[in-house]
C-alpha cells in the first residue's frame, strides 16, 4: 500500500496579540511599566516587514521559492514631512496592507524580529533613523539608538520613564543651580563618538524633559573624550538663545550620569561639523508622537 505523503502544516498568520495589547495599553495612558511591557513584547515579536524584489518569482513543483541571484531586494521606507526616514514594521497583515507602496517591483512581506535589524541600522549606507511599528495607525516610533541598545542586551529593567506625577513632584523640589557646562576649554582637543555604553535611563529622562518644551527643536547626545576625561555631551538646537533650556537638559541628565560629567552646548554650524557629525538626534520636535 502506498504511503501517504505528510502534508506540511500551514504557518500560522502573524498576529502579535500581546504586542497589540501592550500598544493599546500604552496609548490609553503612558507610564513606566506600560512602556517597559511594550518594549518587552516588541523584542519578542515577529513583525511583518515590506520589501521590494526586482523580479517576480513563483514556487516550484516542490513548493519552494527560488530567487534568482540577479534579483535585487530593497526595504520599503516611510518618510516624515521633514524628510526623516524610518523602516516600517507591522504587527499583522491587516495593519501592513494600510501602507500604500508606490515603489515599483514585486512587493512581499518578510518576517523579522527587532534583533534582525541590528546590522541594517548599523550600516552607514542606511539612512533610517529607527523603526516605526504600525505607521498608519498607532505610529510607535523606536529611535535607532534605542533599538540598538535593546538588541545589544540593554536590560529593559534599567529603562526609566517618569510619569507626569513624578515630573511634577521633581519640579517641586529645589533644583541645583550649578552653571551649565559648555564646550571644552580653549586649546583642548576633543573627540566625539556614540556612547560606548548607552545610558538608557539618562536618555529617557532628557527626552521626557524635552517633550513639549516651547522653543526647543532638536537635541543630540554624544560621548566626549577630552584630556583623558569622558563626558556626556548634549548639543541643543533652539529657535532662539535660551539658557534655561540648556540648564534644564543638564539638570535632567546629571543625576543619572553616574558621576560622568555632563556637557551642554548650543547648536551651530561648527558644532554640526565637529560634534553632531550627521548623527540622529535623541529628540526631534518634528517626530513627537
Which are the contacts of 156, defined by CB distance < 8 A and separation ≥ 6? 36, 39, 40, 43, 150
Residue 168 within a domain: yes
Residues 146 and 38 in one domain: yes
The predicted-structure confidence for 138-164, as pLDDT tens digits, reads as follows 888 888 888 888 888 766 655 554 444
Q: Is residue 2 part of a domain?
A: no
Q: Are residues 187 and 259 in the same domain?
A: yes
Residue 75 has pLDDT above 60, yes or no: yes
Q: How far apart are CA 256 and CA 193, in angstroms?
A: 20
The model scores a pTM over 0.85: no
Domain ranges, residue 89 = 17-59+66-150
Could you give the CA distance from residue 275 to residue 270 in angstroms, rounded to a whole number? Answer: 8
Helix, strand counts (H, E) of the chain? 9, 12
The answer to whether 132 and 140 have CB atoms below 8 angstroms apart is: yes
| 146 in the same domain as 21 | yes
**pLDDT tens per residue, range 13-29:** 889 999 999 999 888 87
Which whole-number Å values give the CA distances from 167 to 31, 61, 163, 170, 204, in the listed order? 12, 62, 6, 5, 13
Amino acid at each position: 500500500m502506498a504511503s501517504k505523503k505528510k502534508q506540511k502544516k500551514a504557518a500560522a498568520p502573524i498576529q502579535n496579540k500581546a504586542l497589540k495589547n501592550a500598544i493599546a495599553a500604552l496609548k490609553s495612558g503612558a507610564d513606566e511599566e506600560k512602556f517597559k511591557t511594550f518594549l518587552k513584547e516588541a523584542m519578542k515579536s515577529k513583525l511583518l516587514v515590506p520589501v521590494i524584489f526586482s523580479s517576480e518569482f513563483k514556487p516550484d513543483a516542490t513548493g519552494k521559492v527560488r530567487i534568482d541571484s540577479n534579483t535585487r531586494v530593497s526595504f520599503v521606507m516611510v518618510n516624515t514631512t521633514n524628510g526623516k526616514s524610518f523602516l516600517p514594521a507591522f504587527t499583522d497583515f491587516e495593519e501592513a496592507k494600510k501602507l500604500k507602496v508606490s515603489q515599483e517591483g514585486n512587493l512581499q512581506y518578510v518576517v523579522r524580529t527587532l534583533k534582525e535589524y541590528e546590522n541594517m541600522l548599523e550600516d552607514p549606507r542606511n539612512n533610517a533613523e529607527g523603526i516605526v511599528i504600525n505607521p498608519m495607525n498607532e505610529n510607535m516610533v523606536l529611535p535607532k539608538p534605542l533599538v540598538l541598545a535593546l538588541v545589544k542586551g540593554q536590560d529593559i529593567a534599567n529603562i526609566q520613564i517618569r510619569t507626569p506625577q513624578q515630573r511634577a513632584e521633581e519640579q517641586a523640589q529645589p533644583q541645583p543651580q550649578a552653571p551649565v557646562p559648555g564646550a571644552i576649554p580653549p586649546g583642548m582637543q576633543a573627540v566625539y563618538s556614540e556612547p560606548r555604553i548607552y545610558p538608557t535611563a539618562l536618555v529617557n529622562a532628557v527626552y521626557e524633559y524635552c517633550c513639549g518644551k516651547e522653543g526647543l527643536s532638536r537635541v543630540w547626545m554624544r560621548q566626549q573624550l577630552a584630556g583623558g576625561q569622558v563626558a556626556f555631551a548634549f548639543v541643543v538646537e533652539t529657535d532662539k538663545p535660551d539658557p534655561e533650556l540648556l540648564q534644564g537638559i543638564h539638570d535632567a541628565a546629571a543625576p543619572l550620569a553616574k558621576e560622568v560629567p555632563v556637557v551642554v552646548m548650543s547648536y551651530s554650524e561648527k558644532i554640526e561639523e565637529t560634534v553632531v557629525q550627521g548623527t540622529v538626534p535623541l529628540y526631534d520636535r518634528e517626530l513627537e508622537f
